[in-house]
């Protein structure tokens, strides 16, 4: 059956983004204007966000013979992914321009990565889920490898690529087993098969192991986290900023689509596996981050621990848990954008502000930047009144509500351990004497400075007034659950 025109209208955001990505590639080829490519990318993402709002509905709409689904959760996540990508691009403009990387190829790949995220977010079929994931991953591999002459970044790209391919293989193997059980690649049909329980439980659990291992790799959850610190450390900081932000929303959508839309009836089985992954992530992420001297590496380990928290929300397998996990993902992206954004912002041509020592006495030189950075760090540590506190609180509430009290205790314990290394950054900025030479020169990208300040204030404001965003997340998850 040929898809009707209405299907294409539902998919307008993806179509528009694809056209813009091709346009960005062409603009630089024909006009040699790097500024033009940059503006086209930013406005293209803005247009995509507007189209998401235009096509978004509270009801669940399917399209393309069950390959595509448009629902409230998807619309909200897509809008936020576009927004996060815009912010990441604006933060990294100066950094990229200083290093000659700001061009059609980089921005084009970035837009294709965002397209992959949108496809993943609105997937209702193993095929579109996998294709979206590959589109995202392939673009990210190339972006990590972009600085060809840097040994560390080539090494990071190689590790990312090989482990990513392995994870895709595991995921596909699990999916093929599920296909064997259900006889269909549609997530709804798989859920139906699992619900009726007509098929072998053993094969289902076996397939789940592979699917979850693949998911763990893509999320960066322990014990599948080995690539993450090396990739975050080795990649150009602008790419680290991008990888650390919007793809986390897509990863959350991936987990929700696969485990909740597709395998919700088997939640008893995946709950235990997720619990193990979450506890391991919290432990390894928080303990290993203490020993880091490089802020990118430190934030990478902190990402692992945050992913553990996110999994805790999903594993409660309740409406409260899913909306808590979504709220966590959204606020984490906000904080991660700020944290890595500051690292990008403080870097200048030839200077990477990525060692913790580079932040010594930042307060004496740039008091406002130090204050904003402190807000991000305190929020990640989960201190009130910042938004990170409420994100952790809602996850813990959902956990206790679902009866997993010991997991909540473990999560609180490791959050306390984690607070140490976040507070250490604050201490370094405020109480250590600046290094003799001013390692971080004054900065001059005005738009990034304003946006960073707004980002920091948003972390504070959402912490004081957490209710609207939380309600929005809960509403969209509730409307999307089948």
Partner 1 sequence: MDFASLVFYSFAAILLLSGLRVVTAKNPVHAALALVLAFFTAAAIWLLLEAEFLAITLVLVYVGAVMVLFIFVVMMLDINIEEMRQGFWDYLPIAGLVAGLMAVEMVIVLSGDRFGLSAPAPAPDGFSNTRQLGLLLYTDYVYAFELAAVILLVAIVAAIALTLRRRPNRKVVDVGWQVRQTAEGRIRMVNLKPQKPEYKEEDDE
The residues binding partner 1 (CB under 8 A) are 1-3, 11, 18, 22, 25, 63-65, 67-68, 105-106, 108-109, 112, 115, 119, 125, 127-128, 131-132, 134-135, 138-139, 141-142, 145-146, 148, 180-181, 198-200, 202-203, 206
Residue 190's Cβ-side half-sphere holds a number of Cα atoms within 13 Å equal to: 29
Nearer to partner 1, 134 or 269 (CB): 134
> What gap in Å lies between CA 129 and CA 239, rounded to an integer?
23
314 Cβ contact list (under 8 Å, min separation 6):
255, 256, 259, 260, 274, 321, 322, 325
Greatest CA separation found in the chain? 71
Nearer to partner 1, 146 or 391 (CB): 146
Least separation in angstroms between residue 81's CB and partner 1 is 17
Least separation in angstroms between residue 106's CB and partner 1 is 7
Least separation in angstroms between residue 27's CB and partner 1 is 14
Calculate the dihedral angle through the C-alpha atoms of 56, 246, 458, 322, rounding to the nearest 10 degrees.
70
321 is written with which tokens? Answer: 């848990």
Residue 457 CB coordination number (10 Å): 12
Nearer to partner 1, 114 or 274 (CB): 114
Nearer to partner 1, 140 or 459 (CB): 140
Least separation in angstroms between residue 95's CB and partner 1 is 18
CA–CA distances in Å: residue 102 to residues 108, 177, 231, 238: 10, 43, 20, 10
Please tell me whether residue 99 adopts helix, strand or coil conformation: coil
Q: What is the DSSP string of 373-428?
A: HHHHHHHHHT-TTSHHHHHHHHHHHHHHHTT-HHHHHHHHHHHHHHHHHHHHHHHH
Least separation in angstroms between residue 36's CB and partner 1 is 18
Q: Helices in 291-361 by DSSP H: which ranges?
A: 295-315, 319-346
Type and span of the H or E element at 214: helix 201-219
Nearer to partner 1, 96 or 378 (CB): 96
Task: List 61's β-bridge partners, or say none.
Answer: 70
Least separation in angstroms between residue 437's CB and partner 1 is 32
Asked if 241 and 92 count as a contact pair (C-beta separation under 8 A), the reply is yes
Nearer to partner 1, 63 or 221 (CB): 63
Nearer to partner 1, 239 or 470 (CB): 239
Residue 39 CB coordination number (10 Å): 13
Least separation in angstroms between residue 116's CB and partner 1 is 8
Nearer to partner 1, 135 or 190 (CB): 135
> What gap in Å lies between CA 432 and CA 458, rounded to an integer?
28
> What gap in Å lies between CA 190 and CA 181, rounded to an integer?
8
Nearer to partner 1, 75 or 207 (CB): 207
Q: What is the DSSP string of 337-357?
A: HHHHHHHHHH-BTTB---BGG
Least separation in angstroms between residue 113's CB and partner 1 is 9
Least separation in angstroms between residue 109's CB and partner 1 is 6
Nearer to partner 1, 110 or 428 (CB): 110
Q: Among 343, 52, 9, 66, which residue's Cα sits nearest to residue 185?
A: 66
Least separation in angstroms between residue 138's CB and partner 1 is 5
């Amino acid at each position: 059956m040929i898809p009707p025109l209405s299907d294409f209208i539902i998919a307008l955001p993806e179509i528009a983004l694809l056209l813009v990505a091709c346009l960005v590639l062409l603009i630089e080829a024909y006009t040699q204007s790097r500024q033009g490519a940059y503006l086209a990318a930013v406005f293209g993402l803005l247009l995509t966000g507007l189209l998401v709002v235009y096509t978004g509905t509270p009801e669940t709409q399917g399209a393309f013979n069950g390959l595509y689904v448009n629902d409230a959760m998807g619309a909200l996540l897509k809008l936020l992914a576009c927004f996060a990508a815009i912010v990441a691009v604006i933060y990294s403009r100066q950094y990229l321009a200083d290093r000659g990387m700001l061009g059609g190829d980089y921005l084009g790949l970035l837009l294709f990565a965002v397209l992959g995220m949108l496809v993943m977010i609105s997937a209702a079929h193993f095929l579109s889920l996998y294709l979206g994931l590959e589109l995202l991953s392939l673009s990210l591999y190339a972006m990590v490898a972009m600085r060809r002459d840097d040994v560390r970044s080539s090494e990071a790209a190689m590790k990312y690529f090989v482990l990513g391919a392995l994870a895709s293989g595991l995921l596909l193997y699990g999916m093929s087993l599920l296909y064997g059980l259900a006889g269909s690649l549609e997530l709804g049909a798989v859920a139906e098969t699992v619900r009726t329980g007509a098929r072998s439980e053993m094969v289902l659990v076996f397939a789940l192991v592979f699917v979850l291992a693949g998911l763990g790799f893509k999320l960066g959850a322990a014990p599948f986290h080995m690539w993450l610190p090396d990739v975050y450390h080795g990649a150009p900081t602008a790419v680290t900023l991008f990888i650390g932000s919007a793809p986390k929303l897509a990863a959350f959508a991936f987990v929700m689509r696969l485990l909740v839309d597709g395998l919700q009836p088997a939640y008893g089985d995946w709950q235990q596996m997720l619990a193990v992954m979450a506890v391991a992530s919290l432990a390894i992420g928080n303990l290993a981050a203490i020993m880091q001297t490089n802020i990118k590496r430190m934030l990478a380990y902190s990402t692992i621990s945050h992913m553990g928290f996110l999994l805790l929300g999903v594993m409660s397998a309740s409406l409260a848990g899913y909306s808590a996990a979504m709220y966590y993902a959204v606020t984490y992206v906000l904080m991660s954008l700020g944290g890595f954004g500051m690292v990008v912002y403080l870097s200048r041509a030839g200077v990477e502000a990525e060692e913790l020592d580079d932040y010594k006495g930042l307060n004496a030189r740039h008091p406002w930047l130090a204050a904003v950075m402190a807000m991000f760090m305190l929020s990640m540590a989960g201190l009130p009144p910042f938004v990170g506190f409420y994100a952790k609180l809602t996850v813990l509430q959902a956990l206790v509500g679902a009866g997993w009290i010991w997991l909540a205790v473990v999560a609180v314990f490791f959050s306390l351990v984690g607070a140490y290394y976040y507070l250490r950054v604050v201490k370094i900025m405020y109480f250590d004497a600046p290094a003799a030479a001013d390692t971080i020169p004054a900065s001059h990208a005005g738009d990034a400075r304003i946006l960073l300040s707004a980002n920091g204030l948003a972390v504070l404001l959402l912490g004081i007034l957490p209710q609207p965003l939380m309600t929005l997340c809960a509403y969209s998850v509730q409307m999307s659950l089948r």
